[in-house]
């Protein structure tokens, strides 16, 4: 049986890009960023992206003097930096204020059907899905909207679904100071439906359970919550 190659082995040799075109290689829970990722200001990044996207459009043979196309490079640049990839910038991380659990509510809290839009880091096409998040307080709680904001923050970057699931879970554990967190994500990947195999019906599911959510009864209660209309 051929042994599966590690990421380090792949990096050490010259590779035909087609060989790994469909592989989902993810190096860690952290989004891969260069040390100098934030040395440029947003306006500088947008200027660079605008220039290079204009060259891509020219290469494709598009006429940028056309009224409909001439503003596209600038629009795409702003969209990349300020919108769909704004979660790359730590300055955009939502600040979640903690409150004492004054009601002594010790059962799970579930926020389900959080719609998010992300982008596959392998082809830069959309991932559209729903996240379901639950936690059990260890003494502190956060506002409900902050759970949504945390999901959106990590979704707004080039992603793989497994990493997105873990990033949401780890952030919530650190923020809430509890290990008892459950995250389930169900999503459609346009890299599957709009290209490649062209399967428009399949969805991808991922999950993270920690603390009390690893207990079968607690996990079953959580899954029952998110599956109940």
Instruction: Reply yes or no on whether 83 is catalytic.
Output: no
Cα 181 to Cα 4, 26, 188, 198, 216: the distances in Å are 32, 23, 24, 35, 14
Q: Does domain 38-84 have CATH number 1.10.286.10?
A: yes
Q: Whole-model pTM above 0.75?
A: yes
DSSP state of 19: G
Given 111, 120, 152, 167, the catalytic residue: 120
Residue-level pLDDT at 4: 39
Report residues of the chain scoring pLDDT below 50: 1-22
Among 50, 152, 167, 191, the one annotated catalytic: 191
CATH class, domain 98-227, is: alpha beta
CB 154 within 8 A of CB 168: yes
The question of whether 189 is a catalytic residue gets the answer yes
Q: Given this chain, do its domains 38-84 and 98-227 carry the same CATH topology?
A: no
Vertex 150 angle, CA 105 and 172, to 5°: 45
Catalytic site residue 52?
Answer: no
**What tens digit of pLDDT does each residue of 133-177 get?**
999 999 989 999 999 999 999 999 999 999 999 999 999 999 999
Marked catalytic residue, from 123, 170, 179, 221: 123
Is 104 marked active-site? no
Based on the residue annotation, tell me whether 132 is a catalytic residue of this protein.
no
Active site residue 39: no
The pLDDT score that the predictor gives to residue 21 is: 45
Q: Residue 227: what are its φ and ψ, rounded to 5°?
A: -95, 0
**Predicted local distance difference test score (pLDDT) of residue 224:** 95
Domain ranges of the chain: 38-84, 98-227
């Amino acid at each position: 049986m051929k042994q599966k190659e590690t990421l380090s082995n792949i990096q050490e040799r010259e590779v035909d890009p087609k060989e790994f075109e469909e592989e989902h290689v993810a190096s860690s829970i952290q989004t891969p960023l260069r040390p100098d990722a934030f040395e440029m200001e947003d306006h500088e990044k947008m200027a660079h992206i605008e220039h290079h996207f204009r060259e891509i459009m020219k290469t494709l043979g598009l006429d940028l003097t056309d009224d409909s196309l001439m503003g596209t490079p600038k629009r795409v640049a702003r969209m990349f930096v300020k919108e769909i990839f704004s979660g790359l910038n730590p300055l955009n991380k939502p600040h979640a204020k903690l409150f004492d659990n004054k009601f002594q509510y010790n059962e799970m809290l579930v926020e389900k059907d959080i719609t998010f839009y992300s982008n596959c880091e392998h082809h830069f096409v959309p991932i559209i899905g729903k996240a379901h998040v639950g936690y059990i307080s260890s003494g502190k709680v956060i506002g409900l909207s902050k759970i949504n904001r945390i999901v959106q923050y990590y979704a707004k970057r080039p992603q793989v679904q497994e990493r997105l699931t873990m990033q949401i879970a780890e952030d919530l554990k650190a923020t809430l100071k509890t290990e008892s967190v459950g995250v389930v994500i169900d999503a459609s990947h346009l890299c599957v439906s709009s290209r490649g195999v062209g399967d428009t019906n399949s969805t991808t599911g991922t999950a993270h359970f920690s603390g009390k959510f690893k207990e079968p009864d607690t996990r079953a209660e959580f899954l029952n919550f998110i599956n109940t209309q």
